[in-house]
Chain A
Amino acid sequence: EAGVAQSPRYKIIEKRQSVAFWCNPISGHATLYWYQQILGQGPKLLIQFQNNGVVDDSQLPKDRFSAERLKGVDSTLKIQPAKLEDSAVYLCASSFFGTVNDEKLFFGSGTQLSVL
């Protein structure tokens, strides 16, 4: 079974530049999550999609971050403009139904972003 695919693996940009990350979840998974993992901290949920609709984006800094999942399959997370504090690993995860108490999430390997 193919896992959650993410690209790129690493990205280095200067502050105020823009960057985009791509995620392809496991086939058939309706729910897709983007997490931000800052060094030394646990992953923090940025946005959750159910098919192509947003379920939770309460912790997404909407002035600079945007995400879409147009066809309910793969997703793109964008940062524009980037700030130094955006340096982190961006994790994508997916699950069948989004019922976190009943099922496990499958995570990709993440995109490590460095903002200089």
Chain B
Amino acid sequence: GDSVTQMEGPVTLSEEAFLTINCTYTATGYPSLFWYVQYPGEGLQLLLKATKADDKGSNKGFEATYRKETTSFHLEKGSVQVSDSAVYFCALGGSEKLVFGKGTKLTVNP
């Protein structure tokens, strides 16, 4: 079945460091791919999405490119801020159902 594998956390970075959170997927068909973010005490919210191969989703300085050849959708940000501290979930839209990865907790220290 459809599945998503994210890099294990937690990840701790200093402010202005470069961030990569790896995500790979297994799916039949051509799902859309998503990154959702969960800030402390809040619900999940969509960060960015890509609907087909080679699409790049971007928002708030974060980017991810839909790579069909490597079945990956890695999340990147060039310079993280303390306010980016949150849990990040990679997800795919398969068979009209969102399948989530386990989440990666990011802590950014000043």
Q: Write the residues of chain A forming the contact surface with B, with a CB cutoff of 8 angstroms.
A: 3-4, 40-45, 48, 56, 91, 93, 98-102, 104-110
Query: Does B4 touch A at the CB level, under 8 Å?
Result: yes
Instruction: Bits for B84-97, please: 1 = Cβ < 8 Å to A, else 0.
Output: 00000101010011
For residue A46, give the distance in angstroms from its CB to the closest CB of chain B.
11
Which residues of chain B (1-17) have a CB below 8 Å from chain A? Answer: 4
Contact of A101 among B4, B41, B93, B102 (CB under 8 A): B93
Chain B interface main SS type: strand
Contact of A42 among B4, B41, B43 (CB under 8 A): B4
Residues in B neighbouring A44, C-beta threshold 8 A: 100
Report how many A-B pairs have Cβ atoms within 8 Å. Answer: 58
For residue A75, give the distance in angstroms from its CB to the closest CB of chain B.
15
Residues in A neighbouring B31, C-beta threshold 8 A: 101
Residues in B neighbouring A102, C-beta threshold 8 A: 32, 51
For residue B6, give the distance in angstroms from its CB to the closest CB of chain A.
8
The chain A residue sitting closest to B42, CB to CB, is A109
For residue A9, give the distance in angstroms from its CB to the closest CB of chain B.
9
Tell me the complex Cα distance, A40–B87, Å. 11
The chain B residue sitting closest to A9, CB to CB, is B41
Residues in A neighbouring B89, C-beta threshold 8 A: 42-43
Assess the B44–A45 pair: CB atoms within 8 A.
no
Residues in A neighbouring B46, C-beta threshold 8 A: 104-105
6 contacts between A and B (CB under 8 A): A41-B103, A42-B103, A93-B44, A101-B31, A105-B98, A106-B43
Given contacts A42-B4, A42-B103, contact A101 B96 (CB under 8 A): yes
Tell me the complex Cα distance, A3–B45, Å. 11
Extra inter-chain contacts (5) besides given A40-B102, A104-B46, CB under 8 Å? A42-B101, A45-B98, A100-B93, A105-B46, A108-B43
Interface centre among A41, A43, A107, A110, by most chain B C-beta atoms within 10 angstroms, is A43
Assess the A100–B101 pair: CB atoms within 8 A.
no
The chain B residue sitting closest to A107, CB to CB, is B43
